[in-house]
Amino acid sequence: MYPKQIANEAGKAALSKKAENVFILNVKGLTAIADYLVFLSGNSETHIKAITQAIEKRLKKAGILYREEKSKGWVLLDYGSCVVNIFDKEKRVFYQVENLWADAEKILME
Q: What is the mean pLDDT of the chain?
A: 95
CATH 3.40.630.10 fits 3-108, yes or no: no
In this prediction, residue 12 carries a pLDDT of: 98
Type of residue found at 68: E
pLDDT in tens, 55-97: 999 999 999 989 989 999 999 999 999 999 999 999 999 999 8
Question: Contact at 8 Å (CB) between 33 and 107?
Answer: no
Q: Is the pLDDT of residue 50 over 80?
A: yes
Crossing angle for the helix pair 3-16 and 45-61, to the nearest 10 degrees: 140
In this prediction, residue 89 carries a pLDDT of: 93
DSSP E strands in 7-80: the ranges are 20-26, 36-42, 67-71, 74-78
Stated pTM of the model: 0.93
In this prediction, residue 65 carries a pLDDT of: 87
